[in-house]
Amino acid sequence: MQNLRAFEESMGSNKAEIERSERELADFEEQMEKDRNDGLFFKSLGKAAPERQEFQRAKAKEEVQKLKEVTSKSTQMGIRKNIYLLLLGLLTLSVVDYVSSFPKLDWRKASFLGAVLLALLAQFLYEQTMSSEPIKPEEIEEETERED
């Protein structure tokens, strides 16, 4: 009888240990499945849908085109600025040369060159103030709407 009782107790403890092991295994499998699904979820977040990728590419190409336009405009402004400065320098030298030859001074030529010098200086200053003013976001939106 004692052998039978000892056997039943060991069998009961074995059953409890097996059930505990099975629960641990089930919990472990659930955790693995959950971790696997979480990993797939976060991996899928990194991948964009094809339509979204195409939209992003089109948007990027549009931005590159705008940057090229702005760069070319600023380059043209730099060239134009240098031309203005060259012409202003030449006209200033011409006016100084005419004024320095005072006895033979031809007032018509000197006054004409002075008037051209002032007009060129006014245009140069106007373009400098226009190029130094920041572009407002509303102006950019209006320009893009006109292009569409």
The per-residue pLDDT for 50 is 66
- Whether residue 29 lies inside any domain: the answer is yes
* 51 phi, psi to nearest 5 deg: -65, -40
Q: Read off the pLDDT of residues 91-113 as tens digits, 9 standing for 90 and up.
A: 999 888 888 887 787 788 888 98
CB 124 within 8 A of CB 88: yes
19 domain residue, yes or no: yes
How confident is the model over 122-137, as a mean pLDDT?
Answer: 75
Q: Which domain holds residue 28?
A: 1-47
Counting the structural domains of the chain, the total is 1
Residue 140, classified by CB atoms within 10 Å of its CB into exposed (0-12), middle (13-18) or buried (19+), is: exposed
Question: Is 35 a member of any domain?
Answer: yes
Q: What pLDDT sits at residue 146?
A: 58
Residue 110 resides in a domain: no
pTM of the model: 0.43
| Residue whose tokens read 């004024």 | 99
